[in-house]
Structure 1
Amino acid sequence: MNRSMQLIVLGTFWCFIHGAYCIPFNNEISAISVVGSYPGSNSFVINSTTVYIVSYSTYASIYPTRLTSITTGARMAFPIRVVVRQQKGVSSWQLPLRVNSKLGPLSFYTTSRTLCHTHMDIIANLNRSSIDFLSQLNHTRLLQEFSISVSTSSLRPLDIEIATQEAKDFYIKENQEYTVVTSPSEPIYYYYKFFERNSDNYRDTVVLEVNSEDQTCFYVSIQEPNCPIYDLESEIHNGKFYQTVNTRGGLTVGNFEFPNGFFVVFVAKGDNYDCSIENSLTKERGRLKTFNQTSKVNFKVRPSISIEDYIKAALIILGAILIFYIVLVAILCTFYQINKINRKSSLSPDVATVYLENFQSPMMRSLEIVSKGLTKGSFKPQRVRERERMQRGIILKIVQLN
């Protein structure tokens, strides 16, 4: 055996001992085509000389496909490449999936992705106000077809499992609470469709309420119902709106911005720094190559107040203020009249004396003297009554003379 052959044998032996991160010595690659099970799972063993192409039969479904890929033997130096080919696009990722964080790169050996529905443009233009939104979709032949290829540069055989299923909870409705578990390698998204303007259930805006009981920081994003979907942490910033959430968050979404509905995307972050929380558990796990930073999220879409409701509320408030002022003015006028009557009724009973003091003619002064003289004398009740009658008679004569 010559020296070059000895080096090849020794190099191959070293590769198998230390993880098989070696480039093949030849360029011969065999492609193996298999038919995938849908829904179901398929397992393969691949290396640098073998590429598996998994084809799925054409099927009709209103739901998109949820694809999960799992490996235990791949390493970051020579990962497994997963490529999904659909009618209107191609998506790809690698196993283990690398996620950057403040504490260093993290590796995830399980990924789950929701494939964009081939006919999402048709679904987005369907009428929500039909008797049943989903039953309308059932009468539309929404054919889907896709294939998956898996390959690696590792000389050592690596295992991989591909599982597919329908995303049955893809379409969300108002006032229903949903629960989802997400991680940096397992993003998930849902679709919401607005009601039409001629519907009794129409609202200009809806509110997305999000809450989580754990301390894991995650993204929630609102995106147009188009392919591709930006669901990984490294690309979610390309969406229209996004927000980092730790325990509670919310977004208001308007129909004028998303007339065909919108996607709600959830994906956990590799660390908690963007949520201003330094979780000690994350720091400890961050030193490892792999861990599961998952977040259990509860969310709900509820109708917001429409413009008509705002106008009604404003009119009610203005009407209440107007009624308050009317009642206030009526009360003030009533009290004014009562005080005026009380002032008139509080005059002195010696009216003759008060009246005579306002006139300065000799006749008046003489009459005043007579009136004062009448007030003197006995205080017996009979005399008092006679005196009051005489005073009133004198006043009437004075009024007639004037």
Structure 2
Amino acid sequence: MICTGVRVSVNMLSDPKGTPLMFVVRQKKAVLSFQVPLTLRGLYQRNYQYKDVARTLCQPPKRAENETQYIYVDVSTLSEKNATYRLSVTHLQNFVLLTEERFSFNATPSQPQYFKYMFKEGLDSVIVQVSSPMAFPCSVISIQDIQCPVYDLDNNVAFIGMYQTMTKKAAITVQVTCLSCLPVSSCSHRNIE
């Protein structure tokens, strides 16, 4: 079975002048919403505005291998002027992590990443190792069960499962009973071993 993730990306091309766009992505058994520009609070309570936002959609289970799953994207704003943006929906080819294989990816606070891992038969635990060439900004690695919603933003990643903050390196030992989804947020370039 080939398992790919689906990612929705938005790039705001016009200046919203204080009126954000609201994106609501609807699936059969999940709803994801975010605004662009996305405002996240950072160091010293400073607000950071991001015009490029990307989120990976939750993967609800399929009843049949050939079942088609539809998504709907609703866009709204209270702005009196037209807003220009670029919306793309793409398949993630490296969505499923493999045991003993290194994997590189990029993530930012407004473009967190998460991946799926399925234990091989006979394994009862794995060590998830993440490394970065950069010490700043701080990142969060989270281990969550496969279920919707996935908490992948820096302000909600600690709500469920277990998590580890990191600068250049981190590792989490995971038992077979708890791993399936690995969100990583607030980082620039990470390697998973």
TM range (shorter): over 0.9
CA drift of 1:170 comes to 0.6
Correspondence 1:106 to 2:48? yes
Pairing of 1:95-174 with structure 2 (within 5 A): 95-103=36-44, 104-119=46-61, 140-174=65-99
Q: Structure 1 CA distance, aligned partners of 2:106 and 2:30?
A: 26
Counterpart Cα distance in 2 of 1:295 and 1:81 = 25
Work out whether 1:298 is the aligned partner of 2:191: yes
Structure 1 residue 102 displacement after superposition: 2.4
Higher RCO (CA < 8 A, seq sep 6+) = 2
What amino acid is the match of 2:60? T
Structure 2: tracts of 5 or more residues without a match: none
Distance in structure 2 (CA, Å) of the matches to 1:65 and 1:297: 20
**2: CA distance between counterparts of 1:162 and 1:236?**
25
Contact 1:206 1:253 survives alignment (8 Å): yes
Question: Equivalent residue for 1:203?
Answer: 123
Query: 1:194 and 2:87 equivalent?
Result: no
Superposition misfits of 4+ residues, deviation over 4 angstroms = none
Q: SS of the residue aligned with 2:158?
A: helix
1:146 and 1:68 mapped to 2: Cα distance? 14
Higher Cα Rg: structure 1 or 2?
Answer: 1
SS of the equivalent of 1:229 reads: coil
Are the equivalent residues in 1 in contact too, given 2:7–2:90 (CA < 8 A)?
Answer: yes
> What amino acid is the match of 1:169?
N
Deviation at 1:233, TM superposition (A): 1.1
The equivalent of 1:212 in structure 2 is 132
Q: What SS does structure 2 have at the residue aligned with 1:182?
A: coil
Instruction: Indicate the residue corresponding to 2:173 in structure 1.
Output: 252
CA contact (8 A) 2:141 2:185 kept: yes
Task: Tell me what 2:158 maps to.
Answer: 237
How big is the shift at 1:186? 0.3
Counterpart code for 1:222 = I
Q: Aligned residue for 2:183? A: 265
- 8 Å CA contact 1:224–1:240 kept in 2: the answer is yes
Shift of 1:92: 0.4
| Distance (Å, rounded) in 2 between the aligned partners of 1:175 and 1:76 | 48
Displacement of 1:118 after TM fit?
A: 3.0
Residues 113, 152 of structure 2: 8 Å contact kept: yes
Change (3 A) 1:70 1:243: same
- Return 5+ residue gaps in structure 1 as ranges: 1-60, 123-138, 197-201, 269-293, 301-402
The 8 Å contact of residues 65 and 114 in structure 1, kept in 2 or not, is answered as yes
Which one has the bigger strand percentage? 2
Query: Structure 2 residue aligned with 1:68, among 9, 21, 43?
Result: 9
Q: Following the alignment from structure 1 to structure 2, what is the Cα–Cα distance between the partners of residues 74 and 232?
A: 24
Deviation at 1:76, TM superposition (A): 6.5
Q: Measure the CA separation in 2 of the matches of 1:178 and 1:142.
A: 29
| Alignment partner, residue 29 of structure 2 | 88
Q: Report the Cα offset of residue 160 of structure 1.
A: 1.1
**Residues 142-199 of structure 1, C-alpha deviations (whole Å, 9 max, x = no match):** 4211100111111111101111110110111111000011000001111111123xxx
CA distance in 1, matches of 2:108, 2:119: 28
* Aligned length, in residue pairs: 190
1:116 Cα deviation after fit: 1.1
TM-score normalized by the length of structure 2: 0.92
Structure 1 counterpart of 2:191, one-letter code: N
CA contact (8 A) 2:107 2:185 kept: yes
